[in-house]
Chains A and B, each alone.
Chain A
Amino acid sequence: MKKTNIIQAKNLTKKFGDFTAVNAITFEVKQGEIFGFLGANGAGKTTAMKMLIGISTPTSGEAEVAGLDVYKNPEGIKKSIGYMSQKFALYDDLTVKENITFFGGIYGLSRQQIKEKSTLLINELGLQKVAGELVGSLPLGWKQKLAFSVALLHDPKIIFLDEPTGGVDPITRRQFWEMIYKTAYEGTTVFVTTHYMDEAEYCNRVSIMVDGKIEALDTPKKLKEQFNVASMNDVFLKLARG
């Protein structure tokens, strides 16, 4: 049975004055998929993602996220998605528990739900001992995992990860990808931007953006075949150098 599309974009475009940051991109993401969104810095990844998460209105084109139109219902989209940026933005001067409570609160979870979720989450991450400590005192890897779990607190249909592994060591990155797999296995769609090409190999499908356009979109295996190279890194280099 064919899986339904959870993200659908058609000729999605964003212009800033004369500059076209995103140039008529068309793609779809299937439910439960790990979708890699690749591109060099300045290729338009972040702008494209901002349109999909409802904080930037497209100049033209169409897009639906979780069945909701990006023009008509950006607020509805915000409720259906989770988001984590490369800064793993949690409040350093709040404790682990206070952070969970706060973010649970702004997503409209009830006190009871927050209580259950935070106990579950703290046990799962093994943070029982530091639950009452300020997040600022935790190692980076822990913060990253916590930020990821917090972004999943309200059971979103899709989670958007904006370069989630920037600046962390390889072991932590590996563990983080295990979390991503687990999440996708449980049914949440994962939309991830990265510029680590080894990470691209972990994705079900990847798209590669160059100068505002999607130049390639397929499974890592097929892309390597298509460009006749051994690794995703080489695919990327071939595309980027034109």
Chain B
Amino acid sequence: MGRVGDRMKRFKGFIRKEFYHIFRDKRSLFILFGMPIAQIMLFGFAITNEINNVDIAIFDKAKDATTQEIIAKIVASSYFSNNETIKNESEIAAVFKKGKVKAVLIFEKDFSKNLIRDNKATLQIITDATDPNTANTISNYTNSILQKYQQEVNKDIQIAYQIIPQTKMIYNPELKSVFMFVPGVMTIILMLVSAMMTSISITREKELGTMEILLVSPIKPFQVIIGKVFPYIFLSVINAIVIVLLSIFIFKMPVEGSLFLLAFESILFIINALSLGILISTISKTQQTAMMISLMGLMLPVILLSGFIFPITSMPLPLQIISNIIPAKWFIIILKGIMLKGVGITLLWKETLVLIGMTVFFIGLSIKKYKIRLE
């Protein structure tokens, strides 16, 4: 009993000291708590793929009941506002040149008639592709409005042909980009806090020479490491909670799946990132090196290859293969699954197993590296 009690006391003292380090260093405090909030706000409000009240011009050659109805639908949506009405072809170039109008919708002549006679009518969407993202979004949104309209009209009649290419949007029908960003930002922040902060805090002890003192003391190397990472597990969990709360209450993001599973997967990912942080600290001599390796070796792949910003399916094959070794990729799939689709462990067990496997591998590797370094 005495020995276990002693050990617990030692461990508590160690953790208390670690918290002193964190709370007395303004920079790490900022990274720990300022960054998550700043990032989530930035991605939520500023960096957005959404469009709102984009000015469009309409060139209605048919001017019949159907086109009027479609136009009314488009204008009624909050995405577009009808800025101009065009009367002939030559005006199209002119409105684009003025720059305010981002898209022109052209209804063909005899739109209604063609639709009834051939089950087929053409609506041309010309977008200003100087801003490709917006152009893309505009055409997607228009398609989605048209499709909704078609479904309404065709409720009773079975029609063989459709006016427009089929684009289906589920899980985020309003295309709220913040919903897409939350899992990514959460992943980045947990990675940053867990891996970078721990690798820096461990290398700091090396740089200061206190690691040597700790290794000469009766406290065991693995106790030193556990003592050092424990506070970061705690703080990362708090961070994850803050991010989820912010997205629920500020961005009205739904969390469809089990909160318990979400917590479990987040802790798993945090431990994964911590083991990476320990691994980094075993190969770097200075805090600067640890920071650079964390940023270049972890943050960049997380941002570029995890599917957070760029869809993995549209990457060249070699990059798609590389993306598999990035833990963040699997965590983002899990997060999207739980938060947006509400799926449970039955559909996520594969990704979870990959994460567990990676974590075990990284922990094993860092223990091995740590022992070599001690020799």
Contact = CB atoms under 8 A, between A and B. Distances in A.
Interface of A: 53-57, 75, 78-79, 81, 83-87, 89-94, 98, 101-103, 105-108
27 contacts: A53-B216, A55-B374, A56-B374, A57-B375, A75-B218, A78-B217, A78-B218, A79-B218, A83-B216, A85-B209, A85-B213, A89-B208, A91-B17, A91-B20, A91-B208, A92-B208, A93-B20, A94-B20, A101-B13, A102-B13, A102-B14, A105-B14, A106-B13, A106-B214, A106-B218, A106-B219, A108-B218
B215 interface: yes
B202 to A, nearest CB: 14
Nearest to B21: A93
Interface in B1-45: 6, 9-10, 13-14, 16-17, 20-21, 24-25
A106 B25 contact: no
Interface residues of B, number: 25
B212 interface: yes
B215 to A, nearest CB: 5
B324 interface: no
Contacts of B375: 56-57
A86 B212 CA distance: 11
B213 to A, nearest CB: 5
Given A53-B216, A85-B213, A89-B208, A105 B25 contact: no
Interface of B: 6, 9-10, 13-14, 16-17, 20-21, 24-25, 208-210, 212-220, 374-375
A1 B20 CA distance: 51
Contacts of A90: 210
The 6 closest A-B pairs by CB, nearest first: A87-B209, A105-B13, A89-B209, A83-B216, A89-B210, A78-B218
B20 A89 contact: no
A84 B21 CA distance: 22
Contacts of A56: 374-375
Contact of A94 (B17, B209, B220): B17
A85 B215 CA distance: 12
A39 B218 CA distance: 28
B10 A105 contact: yes
A85 B6 CA distance: 27
B340 to A, nearest CB: 42
Given A75-B218, A106-B10, A106-B217, A85 B212 contact: yes
A66 B215 CA distance: 18
B100 to A, nearest CB: 57
- Best-surrounded residue of A90, A94, A106 (most CB of chain B within 10 A): A106
Contacts of A98: 17, 20
A81 B13 CA distance: 21
Given A91-B208, A108-B10, 7 more contacts: A57-B375, A79-B218, A83-B213, A83-B216, A102-B16, A105-B10, A106-B219
Contacts of A79: 218
A57 B21 CA distance: 32
Contacts of A108: 6, 10, 218
